[in-house]
A and B are shown apart, each in its own frame.
Chain A
């Protein structure tokens, strides 16, 4: 009864702890290698291995594609440690329909690359470096995400 009225029906501690760990990962990358670790660029820089068009062959993608793939591999490794160590290794699944994952994913990829950042690039790294353009990007994507998620819940459920 009260839980449905709570801001955090699933509890709040794991959210805060997880967020601090995410921040620690990006902070460690910066302190050790000096790099800003957003996540969406890897989706363009990895295409540079196979697509020869000038856009993909820019130095900012070619020069960073190696470490970005290693960083992505680290993401999978860390999630694997959580899954096997804390989550019991039960296969996870989602009830979100496949077409929503594919179409939504397409817009996520297209939009993040057009806007040069996603929830980690503009959200965590951009806000963490006090950049006004990133704050405006975050407010923009939060607004359209709130709108889309609520309309989808009404019309598609």
Chain B
């Protein structure tokens, strides 16, 4: 009945395993192939809706149920909520994100996961995303 926070190694291992499940799912669903994403955005294959819908469904259950059923997460003292805000930056950022996504068919998760599939072309997108994030931070106050 200790309330001390578990060590950082189990937490890191849990984070790695969670990421691995996420990355396996992205790959299995074909989301690491820009062509599949672009065929969705061109209304040729609606698969991405199933990927998104399936993921949202599971996450919705976990986010709603876990804080009700558990006093705290298994390896930490409390849940970390992350409220999103709607303002000019969110609107403009989302619009620009969509333009980029529609142009290349790669979003941040698949850009990272794609490295595990030997698709070195995706390094170009990963580099672009890194530079874009850097530019955003340098322009922000």
Contact = CB atoms under 8 A, between A and B. Distances in A.
Contact of A110 (B45, B106, B136): B136
A118 to B, nearest CB: 5
A89 B118 CA distance: 8
Nearest to B124: A101
A140 to B, nearest CB: 4
Interface residues of A, number: 117
Interface in A63-99: 66-67, 70-83, 86-87, 89, 91-96, 98
Contacts of B116: 75-83
B29 to A, nearest CB: 2
B117 A40 contact: no
A44 B99 CA distance: 20
Q: For this complex, into which size category does the number of interface residues on chain B fall? A: 35 or more
B118 A81 contact: no
A91 B114 CA distance: 11
Contacts of B62: 23, 26-27, 30-31, 128
Contact of B89 (A22, A25, A114): A114
* Majority secondary structure of chain A interface residues (helix, strand, loop or mixed): helix
Nearest to B29: A18
Contacts of A137: 84, 86, 90-91, 93-94
B30 A10 contact: yes
A1 interface: no
Contacts of A33: 11, 14-15, 18, 73-76
B54 A109 contact: no
B133 A109 contact: yes
Contacts of A117: 84, 90, 94
A142 B100 contact: no
Interface of A: 7-10, 12, 14-40, 42-44, 46-47, 51, 53, 55-56, 66-67, 70-83, 86-87, 89, 91-96, 98, 100-120, 122-134, 136-138, 140-150, 152-153
14 contacts: A9-B44, A23-B56, A71-B15, A104-B105, A105-B106, A107-B101, A107-B103, A110-B135, A120-B107, A128-B63, A129-B63, A145-B99, A148-B41, A153-B42
Interface of B: 11-12, 14-36, 38, 41-48, 50-63, 66, 70, 72-76, 78-86, 89-109, 111-122, 124-138, 140-141
